[in-house]
Chains A and B, each alone.
Chain A
Amino acid sequence: MHPALKVESLSKGYDKQIVISDVTFSLQEGEIGCLLGPSGSGKTTLLRTIAGFEQVLSGEIWVENSKVVSRGFSLPPEKRQIGMLFQDYSLFPHLTVFENVGFGLRSMKNPQKKGHIFDLLVTVGLEEEARKYPHELSGGQQQRVALARALAPRPRLLLLDEPFSNLDVTLRERLSMEVRDIIKEQHTTALMVTHNQQEAFAIADRIGVISEGQLQQWDSAHVIYHIPANGFVAAFVGEGALLPGTVVDSRRVECGLGILEGSFTSPCPTGCSVDILIRPEDIIHEDDSPLKAMVTHKTFRGPNILYALCLPNGDSVLALVPSHHRHNVGQKIGIRPQVEDIVVYTRGEVCAGIPDIHEGHEFQVHC
């Protein structure tokens, strides 16, 4: 069976500057994919290339069993049968909600068309607002109209460009669940672009992490978080620290936390210098543990507190501790590492100069 979307060795650039380089991935029918990356990483350009608004340098794009982009060929956007949900929704202000949703249904005959539009409005819960104009709706409602409009012609693929970035934080989470349910209910294949990992985790079956035009990893949320393919993914998704260490044998590695035992995510020869990814939840707080670390910084998070800790050898880790364990900066607390799969990167593979993207937490710090 053909995948619903297949992107192969896609590259794109503007005046000598490469924006997308050699991107390959595919989505199965009914799957929701998500391109996650910092701003300027090329993820929106990639989306617009799939929609047909940008031309490529090389590579191919397939939607279901038809080729929409290949060398010297690009199907115009209106012929691709791809729906798009725009960041600013781009509802047509001169048309009612009903007319907006029906806009892409020109070939459909009237009684059937009306029924189809109404069904969709019921799906997104806006059947009451059918006669209103976009400016009379709230931001969340506008977005659902835009979704219904994009879904109405039953596109082969739905693209979503930062769909929740215009909504306030409280609305965002609820709406992203709603949107996921609607897309799943319509059995539509979808690809979303976002810079917000919570959104990606909530919606996507597959996540692609993009940086500087390159697809760093294309996997499920679980794998992306727990076995990040490289240092950039490790740094961009979730929190944590990279500890320098040395491989002792095929299951053990020595670092500032002592000797850690478990299975390595990638094989490393004995004696090799590595960086080990330690997530905050990998550090357990135990008062009577022999290993003590000093609190250098704390952030209250409600159910728990994120502590930045200084290990005896001067390396630094993050620990997520239930918030009734209150310690002050400067205090020494007992900790115990709990890792089964050890994420290791051989030294040098870690990207140099990881951007400071985690609310001011340095990724690899010495105290």
Chain B
Amino acid sequence: MPQSEALHRRNAADFSFFAFRNIIHRIDGWRVAATAVAGLVAVPLFVIISSLLSPTRGIWDHLVANVLPGILTNTAWLVLGVSLGTLLLGVSLGWLTGACDFPGRKTFSWALLLPLAMPAYVLAFIYLGLFDFSGPVQKAFRTYFPQSGFSLPDIRSTAGVITVMVLALYPYVYMFARSAFMTQGKSSLEAARTLGLTPTGAFFRVCLPMARPWIAGGLMLVIMETLADFGAVSIFNFDTFTTAIYKAWFGFFSITAAAQLSSVLVFIVFSVILLEQLSRRRMRYTQGGGLGLETSRIKLVGRYSWGAFLFSLSVLLAAFVLPCIQLLLWTVEVFHLEFGNRYFGLVGKTLFLASIAALVICFVALVLAYAKRRHKDKYTFGLTRVATLGYALPGTILAVGIFIPVAKLDKVIVHWMNALFGYEASTILQGTLIIVFTAYLVRFMITGFNPIDSATQRITPNIDEASRLMGVKGFSLLRRIHIPMLRNGLLTALILVFVEVMKEMPITLMTRPFGWDTLAVKIFELTSEGEWERSALPALALVFTGLVPVILLMRESEKNSSR
């Protein structure tokens, strides 16, 4: 039957034509760019994970025998202690400011976010400086109680690191817990009361369980930050994975050992992310009625109200106000010595790195966001997820994971350059800013992507169609609709990335070319010699810039709560 055969053939031709068109359609610029970014993020992950799968016998045995037990115990204690501490502070403060009413409640509800502006390593060296044996607190204690025979607890201890990290990180739990308590709707609380529970009973049996997914989300952030922290633990000489990775590379010059340590940490980090995703899934089902507790806050009276006030005040003092005062005092002390050309040099390099990184990252994030907007399919969505995965990788790991492939690539390039042009060089990419920026890009992609993505989401296809109907399209559409609608999101993204890069320590420390010291790196060098006072000036600059995103965050939450 020739006819049907012809038909069949034509169908086949059609089919292959459509398949081809489909592929062409799939390979467009946006997707290619998104794939490239996702690939870039995947490389360090792949490098690190593959080093777990192919351990180098001798090194691995040495690590298992001498390094891993210590840092695993330390990490476990640190994570446990910081989790408990941040839960305690975050949930109680979140409840007090989110659902209750007491004098100063409004001020505390934003002021308690301020510690977010202070990098953990800054808080760490301030606390060491304050409470060390030769610090002002211990000295005063010895002066006033010379023969008490009693001594203050040593700040250089597990408890000391945990305290500092709790004070630096509790705002994450606080923020999430507070918004959960505020959005869960007063009627849940009221429903529990009509069913015979006292306000306290209702808190433990209804409000707390309902807020659990949010609190867990905040806690996961805390744990990730704790695992990724390099600065604070190294100031305390408290060995964890991150410091061990640093020492393996820069102390023993064994990048292989660093990579293998990293692989263990990556494993732990990804377990945490998995837990976080699970808790998020439950969050969707626990949305509150949205009525908010605003009209029926629990009025605290008498000693409860004073207790709440004093508790919030002491947390705020310990985590932010007193450290800031100490920083200022130290700064005044050393100002005439430190404030000069060398300091300007540091600031200049920091600003340069941060602003270039912010521009590059936000540009790439914009491309990703448009790719996601253009193609609402699983593949593109998956690409954006992979491309923003880098936030999970602690800086130390990223430094290792990017250095290794670049070094390999470098060898190849050097070889070919030599072979083709007779160009003699030992390295081409290594020791350049390219490595630093690549690492920043991978690590802070999500910081830039989230605000830009939510801004692009607001430009719905209907908006494009509506303006096209009115004859606005192409570049004019971009100029008159897209850019104005994206402006705030872009600006937020730029600021957030800028500040993150400024505060960043391990990546810069480990991958910077010679002479590219930033404020954070300077703090690392000064604090490792115990020069607390001299660290104060660069630290103060970081705290000030760190305040900008915190203020943005406060304004955002203000807007949400007044809705």
Are A104 and B196 in contact, CB atoms less than 8 angstroms apart?
A: yes
**Closest A residue by C-beta to B201:** A78
Point out the residues of chain A lying under 8 angstroms from B158, CB to CB. Answer: none
Are A92 and B206 in contact, CB atoms less than 8 angstroms apart?
A: yes
**Closest B residue by C-beta to A53:** B190
A134 to B287, CA, bound (A): 11
A78 to B194, CA, bound (A): 5
Given contacts A53-B296, A78-B197, A106-B196, contact A135 B285 (CB under 8 A): yes
- A-B interface contact total, Cβ < 8 Å: 69
Contact of B193 among A78, A87, A106, A133 (CB under 8 A): A78
**Closest B residue by C-beta to A79:** B196
Is A25 among interface residues, defined by CB-CB distance under 8 A?
Answer: no
Are B194 and A88 in contact, CB atoms less than 8 angstroms apart?
A: no
Point out the residues of chain B lying under 8 angstroms from A106, CB to CB. Answer: 196
Point out the residues of chain B lying under 8 angstroms from A88, CB to CB. Answer: 185, 187, 289, 291
A153 to B196, CA, bound (A): 9
Which B244-272 residues have C-beta < 8 A from chain A?
none
Is A51 among interface residues, defined by CB-CB distance under 8 A?
Answer: yes
Point out the residues of chain B lying under 8 angstroms from A134, CB to CB. Answer: 285
Rounded to whole Å, the gap between the CB of A328 and the closest CB of chain B is 38
Report how many residues on chain B are interfacial, defined by Cβ distance under 8 Å. 22
Are B285 and A103 in contact, CB atoms less than 8 angstroms apart?
A: no
Which B184-207 residues have C-beta < 8 A from chain A?
185, 187-188, 190-198, 206
Are B285 and A150 in contact, CB atoms less than 8 angstroms apart?
A: no
Rounded to whole Å, the gap between the CB of A274 and the closest CB of chain B is 44
Are A86 and B191 in contact, CB atoms less than 8 angstroms apart?
A: yes
Is B209 among interface residues, defined by CB-CB distance under 8 A?
Answer: yes
A269 to B191, CA, bound (A): 54
A117-153 contact mask (Cβ, 8 Å, vs B): 1 or 0: 0000000000000000111000000000000011001
Rounded to whole Å, the gap between the CB of A357 and the closest CB of chain B is 26
Are A77 and B210 in contact, CB atoms less than 8 angstroms apart?
A: no
A92 to B194, CA, bound (A): 13
Point out the residues of chain B lying under 8 angstroms from A53, CB to CB. Answer: 190, 193, 296
Are A94 and B210 in contact, CB atoms less than 8 angstroms apart?
A: yes
Is B373 among interface residues, defined by CB-CB distance under 8 A?
Answer: no
Is A228 among interface residues, defined by CB-CB distance under 8 A?
Answer: no
**Closest B residue by C-beta to A135:** B285
Which B280-325 residues have C-beta < 8 A from chain A?
285-287, 289, 291, 296
A92 to B195, CA, bound (A): 12
Point out the residues of chain B lying under 8 angstroms from A93, CB to CB. Answer: 210, 285-287
Are A90 and B195 in contact, CB atoms less than 8 angstroms apart?
A: no
Is A83 among interface residues, defined by CB-CB distance under 8 A?
Answer: yes
Is B212 among interface residues, defined by CB-CB distance under 8 A?
Answer: yes
Point out the residues of chain A lying under 8 angstroms from B192, CB to CB. Answer: 92, 103
Point out the residues of chain B lying under 8 angstroms from A135, CB to CB. Answer: 285
A173 to B206, CA, bound (A): 32
Which A57-109 residues have C-beta < 8 A from chain B?
76-78, 80, 82-84, 86-88, 90, 92-94, 103-104, 106
Given contacts A88-B289, A90-B188, A90-B289, contact A149 B209 (CB under 8 A): no
Rounded to whole Å, the gap between the CB of B294 and the closest CB of chain A is 14
Contact of A86 among B187, B196, B296 (CB under 8 A): B187
Contact of A78 among B196, B286, B287 (CB under 8 A): B196
10 additional A-B residue pairs with CB within 8 Å, beyond A53-B190, A93-B210, A153-B196: A53-B296, A78-B193, A86-B289, A90-B191, A92-B188, A92-B206, A92-B209, A135-B285, A149-B195, A150-B194
